[in-house]
């Protein structure tokens, strides 16, 4: 049995990663629930994919998770933290930055929270932190991390970040970890998993028969906030709506856009050739490769995720069906293209 939800809302929640894809939807969820939000903001624009009045309702503070002084100032007077700041990349050139932000940044957040006496924390991790194997498997929260070449640098950075959260729990921090699968929705389609939509819109011809878990961004935000307001601690929860093939995902997105779906299967040999060609192209253009050895390997794997523990812990929580998530997202992308909010 899990503890009942807290009755009293926190006075103020501190959010890291509020300008990112998931973070923006988390702050929107908090504001809509009437919870005061203070969010860390690096230089740059506020997220365009949530309503302007939501962003304006947030108390933005300058800094990042590698700045311990900024973190200490930002945590003054807050009751709880949602830590969603992270670098998501499968490009080897981003490895050092990713390790710093994801591992060291999480250690900074945990240490500062303990020093500031913050009561609760939700740490946004990833199913990648549970590790991958070469065999087809169904993954639950009970899966143990094992070292191996199948784990991407991103996965390693998120696993190490989790170790700091567990250590914080041992030192008295009341915390819970969520492990979302691949997150889908409307955002900046030049970044993160939103790039899947741009790729399909541009009629990328290749598909993989690999299987993975997927979930809507607003569902992940709702799960994070519900867990923050619950009495649950020292637990992790997989957040994943459905397990489907990449081929099925691409076909559904293509249908939403009215575009031709991918029609060529990326066999292991072809995938290996493709990511090597992308690497060479990146050397000449200076742009991040669209495909890497890590992403090609993930796309070929057949991993399913069991999210039953979350539904048991939060009886009122329901996942939005993926076709509904994708239809809503493609409609918003098309509207944004029409209005010039996003570009190709």
Phi, psi of 317, rounded to the nearest 5 degrees: -80, 140
223 lies in some domain: yes
Average the pLDDT over 265-286 and give the result: 67
In the chain, what percentage of residues exceed pLDDT 90? 77
Distances in whole angstroms, Cα of residue 2 to Cα of each of 80, 230, 233: 20, 9, 9
Contact 216, 325 (CB under 8 A): yes
Q: How confident is residue 7, by pLDDT bands cut at 50, 70 and 90?
A: very low
Which pLDDT value is given to residue 279? 59
Average the pLDDT over 303-328 and give the result: 97
Q: Of 182, 179, 170, 181, which Cα lies nearest the Cα of 141?
A: 179
148 lies in some domain: yes
298 lies in some domain: no
Which pLDDT value is given to residue 193? 94
- The tokens describing 21, both together, are 């894809």
Can you tell me which residue has the tokens 């939800």? 5
297 lies in some domain: no
Can you tell me which residue has the tokens 């970040």? 161
200 lies in some domain: no
Strands 264-265, 206-207: pairing kind: parallel
- Of 85-99, 121-135, 197-211, 212-226, give the range with the top mean pLDDT: 212-226
Can you tell me which residue has the tokens 């591992």? 103
Against a cut of 0.85, is the pTM above it?
Answer: yes
283 lies in some domain: no
In the chain, the largest separation of any two C-alpha atoms, in whole Å, equals 57
Q: How confident is residue 267, by pLDDT bands cut at 50, 70 and 90?
A: confident
101 lies in some domain: yes
Total number of domains constituting the chain: 1
pLDDT greater than 50 at residue 330: yes
Q: In this structure, what CATH number is given to the domain that contains residue 22?
A: 3.40.50.720
Which pLDDT value is given to residue 6? 53
- The tokens describing 198, both together, are 């741009």
Contact 234, 321 (CB under 8 A): no
60 lies in some domain: yes
Please list, residue by residue across 140-175, b when 16 or more beta carbons sit within 10 angstroms of its beta carbon and e when fewer do.
ebebeeeeeebbbbbbbbbbbbbebbbebbeeebbb
The length of the chain is: 344
pLDDT in tens, 189-243: 999 999 999 999 999 888 888 999 999 999 999 999 999 999 899 999 999 999 9
Q: How confident is residue 310, by pLDDT bands cut at 50, 70 and 90?
A: very high
Rounded distance between C-alpha atoms, residue 98 and residue 140, angstroms: 25
pLDDT greater than 90 at residue 268: no
Rounded distance between C-alpha atoms, residue 246 and residue 181, angstroms: 13
Q: Whole domain around residue 167: which residue ranges?
A: 12-187+214-241+303-320
Rounded distance between C-alpha atoms, residue 29 and residue 34, angstroms: 9
């Amino acid at each position: 049995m899990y503890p009942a939800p807290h009755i009293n809302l926190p006075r103020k929640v501190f959010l890291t990663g509020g300008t990112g894809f998931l973070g923006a939807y988390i702050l929107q969820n908090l504001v809509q629930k009437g919870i005061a939000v203070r969010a860390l903001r690096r230089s740059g624009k506020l997220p365009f994919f949530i309503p302007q009045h939501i962003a304006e309702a947030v108390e933005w503070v300058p800094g990042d998770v590698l700045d311990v002084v900024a973190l200490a100032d930002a945590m003054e007077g807050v009751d709880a933290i949602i830590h969603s700041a992270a670098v998501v990349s499968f490009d080897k050139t981003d490895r050092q930055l990713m390790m710093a932000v994801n591992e060291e940044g999480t250690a900074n957040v945990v240490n500062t929270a303990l020093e500031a006496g913050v009561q609760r924390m939700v740490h946004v991790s990833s199913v990648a932190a549970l590790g991958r194997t070469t065999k087809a498997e169904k993954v639950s929260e009970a899966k143990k991390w094992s070292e191996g070449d199948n784990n991407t640098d991103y996965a390693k950075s998120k696993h190490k970040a989790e170790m700091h959260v567990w250590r914080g729990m041992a030192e008295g921090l009341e915390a819970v970890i969520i492990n979302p699968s691949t997150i889908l929705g409307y955002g900046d389609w030049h970044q993160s998993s939103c790039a899947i939509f741009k790729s399909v819109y541009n009629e990328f011809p290749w598909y993989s028969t690999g299987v993975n878990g997927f979930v809507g961004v607003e569902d992940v935000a709702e799960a994070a906030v519900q867990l923050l307001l619950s009495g649950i601690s020292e637990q992790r929860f997989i957040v994943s709506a459905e397990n489907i093939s990449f081929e099925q995902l691409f076909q559904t997105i293509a249908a939403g856009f009215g575009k031709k779906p991918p029609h060529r299967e990326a066999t292991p040999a072809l995938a290996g050739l493709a990511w090597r060609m992308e690497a060479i192209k990146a050397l000449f253009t200076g742009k991040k490769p669209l495909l890497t050895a890590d992403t090609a390997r993930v796309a070929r794997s057949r991993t399913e995720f069991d999210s039953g523990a979350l539904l048991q812990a939060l009886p009122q929580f329901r996942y939005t069906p993926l076709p509904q998530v994708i239809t809503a997202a493609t409609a918003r992308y098309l509207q944004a293209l029409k209005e010039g909010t996003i570009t190709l």
